[in-house]
Amino acid sequence: MGGAPPMNAPAGMAPQPYDPWAPPQQNLPGGMDDFARRLPQSKPGTLFGVPLATLRDVGLQRKALFILGIALIAAIFVPVSFDPFLFAFKGNVFKGLVWPAIAGAAYLLVAAAPPNIRNQVPPIVLEWLPFGVSYSGVLIVGLGPAVPGMPGVNIMYAIGMATLIFGLLARLANPTDQIARIIIAVGAGCLLIPFIDIFEMFDGPGLFKVYAILWILVMVVGMASILYVVPPSKLPPALQAVDAFAPHVTAVMLLWLPLQIVVFTVAVIVHMDGVKVIELVLMLARSVLTLLGFFGVLMLTAPAAYDSIMNMVKGNKGAGGPPQGGGYPPQGGGYPPQGGGYPPQGGGYPPQGGGYPPQGPPGGGYPPPQGGGGGWPPQQ
């Protein structure tokens, strides 16, 4: 099954330490491995061309905090309805007025406060403030359609998606990070309750059923991510290629968050009479702003907070970034291994040299000796 360390090493090379968390680098049996070879692959340290190191760009973070801080405060004074004339905080002052004002002020403090004010605030507060505010915002406002009775307002959905996506990004940056894999499992487990709630949406009109089906598919993919908590070499051979799908799962989870807003809006336009276009546009814009203002900031600030926690756990109190030799992103990249994409360089299936198992020194078989086994709309 590939769970044992390699017994032989090529001549002239020292045996490599066995790492059960390393992705399998050999041809694997089963359709999952074959399917993975046909999909576009993400270069190490990127998500389909977007460098994950961008999440650590301080300049980008400050620009985002400045723009979103102003937008969150300004959105307080934009009505959600003109007939009757209503603001977002009607019926929920804290969610529609107090919290956006607190979040906007906190972002502006970090991004644009004068030096004399910033110098009076402990550095750890400036580092953790946007992370804490954005995470609280995700829990308070939620992800997805903020309509009473729909799963988008389920707090477990917000916790699960935010936790799962961050864990997936951290795993992409460092495939051997065991803590990231545990984070993924926690997020995937949190999606079970909102997954059950989605089936209630099948009582709605046609496009709402389509919306529910898409949501179910995304949730199934998210919950299946719990497989990442198991070392690849410990999985059955047919599932050992699961690590190759990590970039695709991450992209699906990220793209679904804005897509669900658009799909739900289309369903409202088609099936609900009397809804004015201007009000739909305002609610759509507010939903996107909420997504960027809380979830987007959370993804920008979570890596630094994660490093701080890991440094405290490991006793690296003076460390200002990820531990040497790994972190976010790791030196040398992630999956696939350096030297090529997926499949690894050296041939297709079967490996060069013919036959199955591959040719090699005595003690071959499977695995080969050198392998390791391889808010919409705001509540009123």
Q: What is the pLDDT of residue 146?
A: 53
Structure tokens at 288: 């996107």
Question: For residue 88, what pLDDT is reported?
Answer: 79
pLDDT of residue 177: 86
Q: Above pLDDT 90, what percent of the chain?
A: 26
pLDDT at 252: 95
> What share of the chain in percent tops pLDDT 70?
71
φ/ψ (deg, to 5) at 351: -65, 160
Under the banding of pLDDT at 50, 70 and 90, the label for residue 23 is low
In terms of C-beta density within 10 A (0-12 exposed, 13-18 middle, 19 or more buried), how is residue 59 classed? exposed
Q: Look at residue 316 in the predicted model and tell me its pLDDT.
A: 58
Give the DSSP letter string of 276-289.
-HHHHHHHHHHHHH
Q: What pLDDT was estimated at residue 107?
A: 95
So what's the pLDDT on residue 329? 37
- pLDDT band, very low/low/confident/very high, at 286 (cuts 50, 70, 90): confident
CB-facing half-sphere around the CA of 341: CA atoms within 13 A: 13
**pLDDT on residue 161:** 94
Please name the residues in contact with 269: beta carbons below 8 A apart, sequence gap of 6 or more.
275, 280
Are residues 91 and 379 in contact, defined by beta-carbon separation less than 8 angstroms? yes
pLDDT at position 63 over 90: yes
Using pLDDT thresholds of 50, 70 and 90, give the confidence band for residue 319.
very low
Please tell me which residue, 27 or 125, carries the higher pLDDT value. 125
On the question of pLDDT at 186 being above 90, the answer is yes
Most confident residue range from 4-8, 39-43, 132-136, 277-281: 132-136
**Beta-bridge partners for 50:** 47
Question: DSSP string covering 199-226, please?
Answer: GGGGGS-HHHHHHHHHHHHHHHHHHHGG
When pLDDT is averaged across residues 52-75 and rounded to a whole number, the result is 91
DSSP assigned state of 75: H
